[in-house]
A and B are shown apart, each in its own frame.
Chain A
Amino acid sequence: MKKISLIAATALLVSSTIVWAHGGAEGVVKERMDLMSDIGKDMKKIAAMVKGESEFDAKTIGASAKKIAEHAGEITELFPKGTTHKPSEALPAIWDQWERFSSLAKDLETEASSLSKVTEGGDKRAIMMQFAKTGKVCSTCHTDFRLKKD
């Protein structure tokens, strides 16, 4: 009996540790948090070039922007109704104003695609401005639909 309960306890501990990634997120909440983190990493990469902290390479920016646009297209399906449980930072407003939320997701896809296109011309200033435009969509959605809890 003792041995079984020891194994059971270990199994429970191990499985709960795995689930504790991303503050205990699982399922669709974890998926969308991971997606947002990915977008953040790409935005960070582009920002470093735009700020002059890393060597400016239009091709790399274009590739990152393309990835962001792809992710943007996946956003709405990761927000099924009733998924505001911990540790989600999603606000109920998302479903109250679903049209606005999904149109912002579409805006992100549009602006990130534009950013990818603009890199083909190599014009630093135009790239910077389109990057700012893209970031503005992030902020707009986060202002009304996300409640940061840490």
Chain B
Amino acid sequence: MKNHKYFLSIFSVGILTSVFAQANADTQTSVKRGEYIMNIGGCASCHTDTKNKGTPLAGGVALKTPFGTFYTPNITSDKKYGIGNWSEKDFIQAMTKGLAPDGSHYFPAFPYTSYAKMTRQDLRDLRAYLETVPAVSKPVPEHDVPFPFNIRESLILWKTLFFDETPFQPDPTKSATWNRGAYLVNGPSHCVECHSPRNFLGGLDQDNLLSGEPKSPEGEAIPSLLNSDGSNFSKWDHNETIFGLQMGMTPEGDFLGGSMGKVIANTTGKMTDEDLRAIAEYLGKTDSKNNASNLQKGNPKS
């Protein structure tokens, strides 16, 4: 009888250990995926104060907008000043509904209008990664937003007008690569948020997405990403687009700076080749001027 009990306890410990080990391995994969999502989501560009040598994701970056200056929050795992106390539900609600755990509305300087399109799995992985970010026990400045824009309740109306909560829907008539590009541009990498014009209330002009914004809050002229309007970018081919997003180099040999410099450094410069190809395809870049078959025929496309 004694032997039997002994065997049973060893067996149980064995099962528990392997279940625990498997859970641990799953978490590790989730954290690794989450780190990639953090990169393609561009979180560091707003939440890490690189100018003042700030600690990763501790916030405090000033975002100047026509409605005032917003200071990005601390999203480290700190339980008092960060999001260490949040449940998974809190995190998903923040990203997909623009609602804080206490139910108050977030200002759309936080681009939840795009993050709302992210898959549940991506959000869970992202959260798993964020839980590993070292806690920084520092508060950030209050937003410097004048009346009436500081009234969070007014965002109920703003969201009704300008927040489309429809989840991302792939287009069944397009390739998987194209759909991945559509997901990235309209979801986690939120290119639409800068590269689209906004109305005077700060809502995206949904009929003219990606057509550029002549004067951003920082005073930059943000280019169009469309192929149909003869813009500078419409002249970039497939290879130039990928090279550009990886290195920040334009076909003229210029190097992108300003806000896009941060995007290249933190987001597109860290994407896999497949994701870059997906974005290029979604943006309609199908051919390259100097690809091998063209050179062989002695017939370079112009």
Contacts and interface: CB of A to CB of B under 8 A. Distances in A.
Nearest to B251: A44
A44 B257 contact: no
Contacts of A122: none
Contacts of A125: none
B249 A146 contact: no
A43 B253 CA distance: 5
A42 B253 CA distance: 7
B257 A142 contact: yes
A122 B254 CA distance: 25
A145 B265 CA distance: 16
B265 A47 contact: no
A59 interface: no
A149 B290 CA distance: 30
A40 B251 CA distance: 10
Interface stretch (A2-10, A16-24, A131-139): A131-139
Contacts, number: 70
A126 B255 CA distance: 21
Contacts of B262: 143
Contacts of A142: 255-258, 261
A126 B192 CA distance: 36
Contacts of A11: none
Interface string B246-285: 0111011111111001101100000000000000000000
Interface of A: 39-45, 47, 51-53, 132, 135-136, 138-150
5 contacts: A43-B249, A53-B290, A139-B255, A140-B265, A144-B261
Interface of B: 51, 218-221, 239, 243, 247-249, 251-258, 261-262, 264-265, 289-290
